[in-house]
Amino acid sequence: MASKKNKVVVNVEDKEHEEVRVKKSDRSQFLENKQAETKEHIDEFYSNPKYSSINRPSIKAFSWLKFLIIIIIFGFLAGLAGSVFIFRQKKIDLPGGLTISIEEFFPVSEEKEEKSEQITIMAEDYIQDLEENISAGLLRIFLAKDVADDQLSLGFLEQIYAPWQVLGIGAMISEEGWLITTADLKEEESYVVLDKNNEVFPVEEFRTYEENKVNFLKINHSHPVVLELNKGQDIFSGAEVLIFDKFNNLHLTEVSNPRARRIYQTADLVRSTDYFSDYLRLNRDISILSFPNGLVFDQRGSLIGLISNESLVPTWHLGRVQHYLAQGEEIQKTYLGIDYIKIEEAPGLLNSYFQDLNYGSIVYGDPLPESPADLAGIKNADVIIRADQIILAGKQELTYLVQEKLPGEEINLVVLREGEETEFNVILRGERETEEAVSED
């Protein structure tokens, strides 16, 4: 049996203006009340006169200009990072098998490396050429073999001048065949020298400069390679130098102080016109005791020092030794007879007479009796301010100016005494002449 359905008719016109109400949930009602409460508190805060100086924040739209600036900044940083990455690569591989070589477009770093390598190679080549040039003027010294009456009294091996038998090396310093060396030699012994080509030359003459314990040997060499003696010019702290030991091995180092002095007490400040009190000091990492009888050369190939068993003798301390060798005369020092102190090295002097001076050499004590200075009338406390018109200041030292002269030559001295300048022309004498003068008295 079929059920009967009820038909419901709704009048649309009656419902058109009817208000529809939706009941809110408890949570929605709570949040709405809370928001209203918060707004009420904010309005109350800004309406309070106590906080009238505080402006209510306003909401502004984000500026397109700011957005553009930020994009530009990030683009710049990204480009910079990309450039750094690209320049650090030698080549870049792109899709499709393409390769871009950075070195072809930017070869600067490679050029710098090539230049650096070229400079290093040039320095090494220069040192090698310098070594060859110096070695040509160096000769090895041996004790002569004892061969009687030109007969072969020695065995085959005994005739050989072996490397371990070398006594030292000498540098050729004159066309006449004179060598200079600090090898420990004796006048009563016979010696030979060997050049770079192992040619043997007997020593014909032997001399010693007692002041510096330096020996001079003369050989008959038809084509000697002469090496220059440096007079102390262009030698400064840090200058690179070459050391040849007695086995002709090369060592590189540098100058620490070309005119070093050992000052342990105030009395060590006193200098003499008749001998040198300074010395050539090399790098502290180099011990001269490791190179006995060695020779020291500068970067130009001139001899600047000789290493003995005790010290390093600068060549500028040898004075006019080449003159004595050429003339066949005995090597001796030049005497003036004055001890002195440099004004620059004597701060704190109480005498007002010295306080007003900033250069010069104070005569310390009376000159040696019967010395050229004594005979000329120079006295204690005189201040020598000029020698041969050269002002005695800085590196200009009275000792060097005196030792550059020969006995019998004259030196002009300007002396400050009691505020007045007095001029002296002093005739210098030699070591032997001075000793003879003293012995006669």
**∠ at Cα 174 (240, 428), nearest 5°?**
90
Q: Tell me the sheet residues that pair with 384.
A: 361, 415
Q: Which of 372, 368, 437 is nearest to 407 (CA)?
A: 372
- Give the tens place of pLDDT for each residue, 72-81: 887 778 777 7
In the predicted structure, residue 17 carries a pLDDT above the cut 50? no
pLDDT at 74 (0 to 100): 77
Task: Name which residue leads in pLDDT, 331 or 87.
Answer: 331
Question: In this structure, which amino acid lies at residue 197?
Answer: N
- Dist CA 168 CA 184 (whole Å): 8
**Tokens encoding 267:** 């009395």
- Give the tens place of pLDDT for each residue, 61-73: 456 777 778 888 8
Whole-angstrom Cα Rg for the chain: 47
Three-state SS for 260?
strand
Question: In this structure, which amino acid lies at residue 396?
Answer: Q
In the predicted structure, residue 10 carries a pLDDT above the cut 50? no
| Lowest mean pLDDT, pick from 65-74, 270-279, 305-314, 408-417 | 65-74
Q: How far is CA 77 from CA 67, 72, 83, 88, 235, in A?
A: 16, 9, 10, 17, 53
- Dist CA 218 CA 117 (whole Å): 44
CB-CB neighbours of 355 under 10 Å: 11
Cβ pair 200, 174 in contact under 8 A: no
Q: Which residues contact 302 (CB under 8 A, 6 or more apart)?
A: 227, 228, 229, 230
- State the number of CA atoms in the 13 A half-sphere of 253 facing the CB: 21
**∠ at Cα 53 (48, 59), nearest 5°?**
95
pLDDT at 53 (0 to 100): 55
pLDDT at 149 (0 to 100): 54
In the predicted structure, residue 401 carries a pLDDT above the cut 70? yes
- Dist CA 92 CA 87 (whole Å): 10
pLDDT at 136 (0 to 100): 94
- Dist CA 234 CA 298 (whole Å): 9
Q: Which of 176, 183, 318 is nearest to 244 (CA)?
A: 183
CATH topology of domain 332-441: Pdz3 Domain (2.30.42)
pLDDT at 431 (0 to 100): 74
Which pTM value belongs to this model? 0.69
Is beta strand 205-209 parallel, antiparallel or unpaired with respect to 214-218? antiparallel
- Give the tens place of pLDDT for each residue, 133-162: 999 999 999 999 876 655 567 788 888 999
pLDDT at 230 (0 to 100): 92
Percentage of the chain surpassing pLDDT 70? 74
89: confidence class by pLDDT, cuts 50, 70, 90: low
- Dist CA 182 CA 162 (whole Å): 20
In the predicted structure, residue 321 carries a pLDDT above the cut 60? yes
- Give the tens place of pLDDT for each residue, 175-206: 999 999 999 999 889 999 999 999 999 999 99
pLDDT at 48 (0 to 100): 65
- Mean pLDDT of the region 286-306: 89
Q: Which of 287, 282, 285, 235 is nearest to 256 (CA)?
A: 282
Cβ pair 348, 378 in contact under 8 A: no
* Helices and strands in the chain, H and E counts: 10, 24
- Dist CA 415 CA 272 (whole Å): 17
- Mean pLDDT of the region 226-238: 88
pLDDT at 16 (0 to 100): 47
- Dist CA 52 CA 48 (whole Å): 7
Please state, rounded to an integer, the average pLDDT across all residues of the chain.
82
- In the sheet with 250-260, reading across from the earlier edge strand, the strands are 279-282, 250-260, 240-244, 295-297, 303-307, 312-314
- Give the tens place of pLDDT for each residue, 343-371: 999 998 888 788 788 999 999 999 999 99
- Dist CA 149 CA 146 (whole Å): 10
- Give the tens place of pLDDT for each residue, 239-290: 999 999 998 899 999 999 999 998 999 999 999 999 999 989 998 777 887 8
- Dist CA 80 CA 90 (whole Å): 18
- Mean pLDDT of the region 207-232: 91
pLDDT at 35 (0 to 100): 73
Cβ pair 115, 107 in contact under 8 A: no
